[in-house]
């Protein structure tokens, strides 16, 4: 311990110095904020749209490709003449897949950058926490990735073009019963999306007389072997894999191969819409049931997105079947919306409810009065490494 | 079907990875006497080096692994040379060193994420056929078998290094009493630097093996490190071979816990084990 | 301005956390990496009581304090059996276990879905009803709480209890020789710290209006530890400065023009390097008096 008397004189000076530094920081923020406000006055300035994404922490694997998709779409729009002649500018903030950072990011975007529309959040936790902030400031919040059923009708200022979890669980439960399956082994990743799918599935499946043996694993799990061994001994009619992301699914499939376990499979749309994964684990997949909402892999906008992403970033688009197309569509929907009603959060949110059969990379988008994407999942069956629509 | 043989196999696989990490962790702990959280990031550095060298640049595998081990060793050495060494020279407490090493982990894993993105990667594409073996009702792959063998080889190598060489005797002397070791003419700083290099290499090796078996991501370090620390404490912290026992015990507890309790409590089981040991046997199974 | 008000509220909540952790870490010398667990216990207790049972915020926060106090009494008793760095590791264990409970006991906590739609605090006296719905009014409320906690901490520091704690931190055995029941002193301060942290949790839940387990991980505990260490150990002023600096640092870095593709990760690099530099050149923190 330092002698108190000796250090107190210098430490006081240092305290004062640090306080000065902090005041400068805060002052800088205010000045920057004012400057941001003035910039907005000029009409030739770009249209600023806020973006909230998880760029660090556990959510970063989704946030990075999303950012790339947003930038790609923005670049396309701007080279094609922008939005009503003005270029589109994205202001990207890290919301770390949690409520606290999402509210901070939303406050910053709304009050410093004066945006009218925020693209995000990605995680449902981000959207749920940021919605009150956006609603209070009359700013529209548009999520291409949050699927929690809690977001349905949460606020007139929130809407999404990613479907709620509820639809696919129900579709799959009914299909399983139709197949005559009585007992399903279920592996769920502990995230809000996967839990939502499970809830919808189990509600319908048990209602129809089925039983479920369920195991949950935290998101950072990489060793599934014992969980799989346990589910294997349950001798269920089918094994439902309910992950949040594709890498988790691939780890599970690889470890299933290592364990030489070949059950009848079911999985959510994360896996169902990943053609490469289906092809890689072809022998495991035969006859597997899945549900998808991006119905058409031959959609020209979808194939264009895949090709351009590959050209620009040199890697394949991740989450190509799920978030990728909705993210891409979201930027174009914002363009369409601003051209229709101007860069105004309130009007844009009202306009969003009028979107009907809008053609995009994720198929036809229709937004309902509760802010949810209308149109459920289509049941598919995997044959020879390809998902086909089941009759 | 009987699940037990498979669970035993699973526990042995998981335990072997923990064992490698625990060896590396105990090596620095027994000499430098602080909990080096930065050790966790060496797994990501080793794994991503191989990923970059072999998958992106297409270098031969053995060359990539060699360079990957060197990189993780070097990073560990540099962290010692420029951060831990000056701190230790000032007689900083274990907590100060722990927090500084936390800074090392945070900064380096973010750098890895900048260089290679946060996406989950595997190295399993680098080897063609990963054969699946079956033994007494449990299955395991060739990679997993080699992980198990790595533990054996590494333990024998370390035993030889510590017992049979002058360098090893210097390490033992330092871990017994650093001041005395200095007085009898051991260049403690140099030895310590080498210890950090070797422990970094071991961390990198674990990361590479994890990459082949399951996969790597930039923020993997902390959770693997915590597993190693739990294993080290259970086995008797600072005791290299006690750590091996601790690693397998932890793996068995986790995997059988999944069977008897439930998968979602795996982390709670691991840390429950830690607390039980800290309460009833704070110096571990094999105190040094 | 709204953004600054928002940041001020966050600084307030983290000040309470820092002040309470400083009691445990700075005055009692217990290296606790489980503070986020008590933060979370307060948040979850008050969130569940206000949303499901429609209890008033202030009563719910009080219940949160009780829950945190009871659990911390148990945790503290166990931790008091450990020595040195093992205290830190054992406390990591408790944080993981409490986090697992938040994630897994879904009947109560809704697990990964989190608890949405938590209301803002309101005061009711007969017909008079005031809700702290605007951020400015919430700021006033949190400033009041910070002030109360600050004065409580100052009082503890100046009291004979605080002096005994400092003495225990420096030489526990000597105090035992003088007949002090050092275990009781340390336990008492641990429980007080946990109770105060749970108040911060209640404020946090009602301010953000949504909580999920991801906020209460070890990473958050480590963050809180660095807040206290940056500000300065055994200094209440230091705790406030630490909270101010570390809550604002990432926000400030939003304005530093890193290229967008690495900005977020660069913030983590800056944070890590800051910890290293701090340990190398000023391990007692900015205004602290006690070196780790």
How does DSSP assign A359-380, residue by residue? EETTEEE-B-TTSPBP--PEEE
**Is the model's pLDDT at B119 over the cut of 80?**
no
Domain boundaries, chain B: 21-219
Q: Is residue C197 part of a domain?
A: yes
CATH 3.40.50.2300 location in chain A: 47-163+299-365, 166-292
**Out of A228-232, B19-23, C195-199, least confident range:** A228-232
Mutation target to probe the B interface, by most B beta carbons within 10 A, among A55, A56, A226, A318 is A226
Predicted local confidence at residue C107, as pLDDT: 87
Fold that domain A47-163+299-365 belongs to in CATH: Rossmann fold (3.40.50)
> Exposure pattern of A313-339 as b/e (b: 16+ CB <10 Å)?
beeebbbbbbbbbbbbbbbbbbbbbbe
* CB atoms inside a 10 Å sphere around CB C196: 28
Mutation target to probe the C interface, by most C beta carbons within 10 A, among B274, B277, B280 is B274
Average pLDDT over residues C133-161: 91
Chain A residues within an 8 Å CB radius of C289: 1-2, 4, 7, 11
For residue C126, the enclosing domain spans: 2-217
Comparing A181 with B120, the larger pLDDT belongs to A181
Measure the CA angle with vertex A90, ends A87 and A92; round to 5°: 170
Comparing A293 with B98, the larger pLDDT belongs to B98
Is the Cβ pair C226, B93 closer than 8 Å? Answer: no
**Is the model's pLDDT at A190 over the cut of 90?**
no
**Is the model's pLDDT at A39 over the cut of 60?**
no
Cα-based distances in Å from B118 to A54, A60, B44, B114, C112: 11, 6, 11, 8, 22
B212 close to B61: Cβ distance less than 8 angstroms: no
In angstroms, the CA B18 to CA B161 distance is 21
| B positions 117-136 inside 8 Å of C (CB) | none
**Out of A293-297, B94-98, C202-206, least confident range:** A293-297
Q: Is B78 on the interface with C (CB under 8 A)?
A: no
**Is the model's pLDDT at A61 over the cut of 60?**
yes
Split at pLDDT 50, 70, 90, the class of A37 is very low
CA C22 remoteness from chain centre: 9
Split at pLDDT 50, 70, 90, the class of A1 is very low
Predicted local confidence at residue A11, as pLDDT: 55
**Out of A34-48, A206-220, B110-124, C163-177, least confident range:** A34-48
Mutation target to probe the A interface, by most A beta carbons within 10 A, among B250, B256, B264, B270 is B264
Split at pLDDT 50, 70, 90, the class of B1 is low
Predicted local confidence at residue C215, as pLDDT: 87
Predicted local confidence at residue B239, as pLDDT: 82
Residue in A with minimal Cα distance to C100: A218
Q: Is B210 on the interface with A (CB under 8 A)?
A: yes
Q: Is B94 on the interface with C (CB under 8 A)?
A: yes
DSSP alpha helix (H) spans, chain A: 4-41, 60-79, 99-111, 124-136, 166-178, 192-207, 225-232, 246-258, 269-272, 275-280, 282-285, 300-313, 323-341, 345-352
Residue in A with minimal Cα distance to B261: A215
Average pLDDT over residues C111-120: 87
Average pLDDT over residues B170-184: 86
- The subunits that touch chain B, with at least 3 C-beta pairs less than 8 Å apart, are A, C
Mutation target to probe the B interface, by most B beta carbons within 10 A, among A225, A252, A274 is A225
Q: Is residue C253 part of a domain?
A: no
Give the nearest partner residue to B83 out of C103, C229, C276, using CB atoms. C276
**Is the model's pLDDT at A374 over the cut of 90?**
no
Comparing C195 with A320, the larger pLDDT belongs to C195
Mutation target to probe the A interface, by most A beta carbons within 10 A, among B119, B247, B263, B268 is B263
What confidence tens digit (pLDDT) does each residue in A314-343 have? Answer: 888 877 767 888 899 999 999 999 999 989
Residue in C with minimal Cα distance to B89: C280
CA dihedral angle for residue C208, residue C213, residue C218, residue C219, rounded to 10 degrees: -50
Is the Cβ pair B217, A58 closer than 8 Å? Answer: no
Q: Is residue C231 part of a domain?
A: no
Return phi, psi of residue A47, to 5°.
-80, 120
Q: Is A150 on the interface with C (CB under 8 A)?
A: yes
Predicted local confidence at residue C149, as pLDDT: 94
Return phi, psi of residue B112, to 5°.
-60, -40
Predicted local confidence at residue A162, as pLDDT: 85
Nearest chain A CA: its distance from B191 CA (Å): 31
Average pLDDT over residues B98-119: 88
Is the Cβ pair C86, B278 closer than 8 Å? Answer: yes
Mean pLDDT of chain B: 87
Chain B residues within an 8 Å CB radius of C86: 233, 278, 282
Average pLDDT over residues B78-105: 88
| A positions 185-204 inside 8 Å of C (CB) | 190-192, 194-196
Is the Cβ pair B110, A226 closer than 8 Å? Answer: no
Predicted local confidence at residue A389, as pLDDT: 75
Average pLDDT over residues A190-206: 87
**What pTM was estimated for this model as a whole?**
0.85
Predicted local confidence at residue A274, as pLDDT: 72
Split at pLDDT 50, 70, 90, the class of A5 is very low
Is the Cβ pair C260, A7 closer than 8 Å? Answer: no
DSSP states along A57-80: GGGHHHHHHHHHHHHHHHHHHHHT
Question: What does the DSSP 8-state code read for residue C214?
Answer: G
C162 close to C33: Cβ distance less than 8 angstroms: no
Average pLDDT over residues A18-29: 63
Mean pLDDT of chain A: 82
A128 close to A320: Cβ distance less than 8 angstroms: no
Q: CATH second-level architecture of A166-292?
A: 3-Layer(aba) Sandwich (3.40)
- The subunits that touch chain C, with at least 3 C-beta pairs less than 8 Å apart, are A, B
Q: Tell the burial category of A349 from Cβ atoms under 10 Å away from its Cβ (0-12, 13-18, 19+).
A: buried
Is the Cβ pair A64, B117 closer than 8 Å? Answer: yes
Is the Cβ pair C260, A92 closer than 8 Å? Answer: yes
Cα-based distances in Å from C204 to B217, C12, C65, C197, C221: 31, 10, 14, 10, 15
**Out of A319-333, C86-100, C148-162, C250-264, least confident range:** C250-264
What confidence tens digit (pLDDT) does each residue in C143-152 have? Answer: 999 999 999 9
Contacts of B272 (CB under 8 A, 6+ apart): C93, C97
Average pLDDT over residues A136-155: 89
Number of domains in chain C: 1
Nearest chain B CA: its distance from A358 CA (Å): 32
Give the nearest partner residue to A226 out of B134, B214, B255, using CB atoms. B255
Is the Cβ pair B132, A233 closer than 8 Å? Answer: no
Q: Which two tokens stand for residue C55?
A: 């209890």
Chain A residues within an 8 Å CB radius of B3: 229-230, 232-233
A232 close to B1: Cβ distance less than 8 angstroms: yes
Largest CA distance in chain C: 61
């Amino acid at each position: 311990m330092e002698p108190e008397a000796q250090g107190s004189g210098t430490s006081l000076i240092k305290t004062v110095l640090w306080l000065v530094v902090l005041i400068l920081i805060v002052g800088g923020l205010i000045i920057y904020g004012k400057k941001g406000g003035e910039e907005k006055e000029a009409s030739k300035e770009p249209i600023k749209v806020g973006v909230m994404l998880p760029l660090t922490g556990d959510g970063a694997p989704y946030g990075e490709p999303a950012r790339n998709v947003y930038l790609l779409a923005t670049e396309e729009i701007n080279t094609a003449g922008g939005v009503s002649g003005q270029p589109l500018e994205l202001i990207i903030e890290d919301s770390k897949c949690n409520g606290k950072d999402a509210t901070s990011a939303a406050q910053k975007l709304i009050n410093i950058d004066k945006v009218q529309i925020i693209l995000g959040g990605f995680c449902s936790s981000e959207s749920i926490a940021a919605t009150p902030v956006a609603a209070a400031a009359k700013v529209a919040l548009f999520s291409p990735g949050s699927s929690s059923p809690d977001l349905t009708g949460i606020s007139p200022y929130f809407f999404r073009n990613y479907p709620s979890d509820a639809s696919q669980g129900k579709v799959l439960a009914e299909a399983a019963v139709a197949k005559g399956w009585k007992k399903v082994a279920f592996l769920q990743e502990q995230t809000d999306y996967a839990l939502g799918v499970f809830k919808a599935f189990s509600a319908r499946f048990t209602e129809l007389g089925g039983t479920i043996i369920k195991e949950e694993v935290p998101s950072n799990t990489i060793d599934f072997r014992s969980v799989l061994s346990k589910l294997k001994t349950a001798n269920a009619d089918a094994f439902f894999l309910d992950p949040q992301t594709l890498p988790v699914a691939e780890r599970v499939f690889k470890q299933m191969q290592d364990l030489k376990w070949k059950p009848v499979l079911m999985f959510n749309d994360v896996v169902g819409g990943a053609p490469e994964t289906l092809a890689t684990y072809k022998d495991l997949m035969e006859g597997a049931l899945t549900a998808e909402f991006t119905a058409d892999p031959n959609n020209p906008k979808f194939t264009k997105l895949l090709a351009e992403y590959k050209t620009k970033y040199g890697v394949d688009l991740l989450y190509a079947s799920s978030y990728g197309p909705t993210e891409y569509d979201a930027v174009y929907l914002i363009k369409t919306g601003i051209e229709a009603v101007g860069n105004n959060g309130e009007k844009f949110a009202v306009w969003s409810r009028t979107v009907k059969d809008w053609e995009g990379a994720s198929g036809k988008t229709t937004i309902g009065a509760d802010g949810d994407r209308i149109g459920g999942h289509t049941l598919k069956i995997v044959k020879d490494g390809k998902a086909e629509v089941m009759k | 079907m009987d699940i037990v043989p498979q669970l035993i196999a699973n526990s042995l696989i998981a335990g072997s990875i923990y064992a490698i990490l625990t060896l590396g962790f105990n090596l620095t702990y027994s000499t430098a006497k602080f909990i080096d959280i930065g050790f966790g990031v060496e797994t990501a550095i080793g794994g991503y080096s191989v990923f970059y060298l072999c998958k992106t640049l297409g270098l031969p595998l053995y060359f990539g692994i060699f360079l990957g081990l060197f990189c993780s060793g070097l990073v560990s050495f540099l962290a010692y040379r420029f951060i831990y060494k000056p701190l230790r020279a000032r007689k900083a407490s274990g907590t100060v060193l722990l927090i500084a090493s936390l800074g090392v982990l945070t900064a380096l894993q973010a750098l890895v994420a900048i260089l290679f993105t946060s996406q989950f990667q595997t190295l399993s594409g680098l080897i063609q056929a990963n054969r699946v073996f079956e033994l007494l009702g449990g299955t395991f792959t060739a990679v997993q078998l080699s992980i198990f063998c790595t533990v054996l080889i590494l333990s024998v190598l370390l035993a030889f290094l510590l017992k049979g060489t002058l360098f090893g005797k210097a390490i033992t002397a330092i871990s017994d009493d650093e001041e005395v070791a200095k007085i009898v003419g051991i260049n403690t700083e140099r030895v310590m630097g080498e210890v950090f290099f070797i422990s970094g290499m071991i961390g990198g090796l674990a990361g590479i093996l994890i990459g082949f078996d399951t996969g790597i991501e930039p923020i993997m370090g902390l959770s693997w490190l915590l597993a190693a620390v739990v294993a080290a404490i259970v086995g008797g912290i600072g005791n290299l071979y006690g750590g091996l026992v601790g690693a397998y015990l932890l793996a068995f507890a986790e995997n059988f816990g999944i069977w008897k309790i439930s998968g979602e409590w795996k982390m709670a089981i691991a840390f429950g084990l830690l607390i039980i040991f800290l309460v009833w046997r704070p110096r571990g199974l094999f105190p040094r | 301005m709204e953004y600054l008000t928002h940041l001020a509220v966050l600084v307030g909540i983290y000040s309470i956390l820092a002040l309470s952790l400083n009691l445990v870490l700075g005055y009692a010398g217990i290296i606790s990496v489980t503070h986020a667990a008590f933060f979370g216990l307060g948040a979850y207790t008050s969130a569940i009581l206000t949303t499901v049972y429609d209890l008033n915020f202030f009563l719910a926060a009080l219940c949160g304090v009780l829950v945190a106090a009871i659990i911390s009494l148990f945790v503290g008793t166990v931790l008091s059996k450990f020595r040195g760095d093992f205290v830190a590791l054992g406390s990591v264990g408790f944080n993981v276990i409490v986090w697992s409970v938040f994630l897994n006991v879904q009947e109560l906590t809704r697990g990964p879905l989190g608890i949405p739609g938590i209301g803002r605090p309101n005061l009711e006296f007969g017909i008079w009803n005031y809700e702290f719905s605007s951020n400015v009014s919430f700021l006033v409320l949190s400033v009041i709480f910070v002030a109360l906690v600050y004065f409580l901490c100052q009082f503890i520091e100046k009291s004979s209890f605080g002096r005994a704690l400092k003495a225990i931190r420096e030489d526990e055995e000597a105090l035992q020789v003088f007949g002090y029941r050092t275990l009781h002193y340390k336990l008492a301060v641990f429980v007080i710290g946990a109770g105060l942290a749970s108040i911060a949790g209640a404020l946090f839940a009602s301010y953000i209006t949504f909580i999920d387990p991801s906020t209460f991980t070890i990473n958050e505990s480590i963050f809180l530890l660095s807040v206290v260490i940056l500000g300065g150990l055994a200094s209440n002023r230091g705790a406030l400065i630490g909270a101010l600096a570390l809550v604002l640092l990432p926000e400030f870095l939003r304005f530093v023009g890193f290229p967008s593709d690495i900005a977020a990760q660069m913030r983590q690099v800056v944070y890590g390097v800051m910890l290293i530099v701090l340990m190398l050149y000023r391990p007692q923190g900015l205004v602290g008096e006690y070196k780790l």
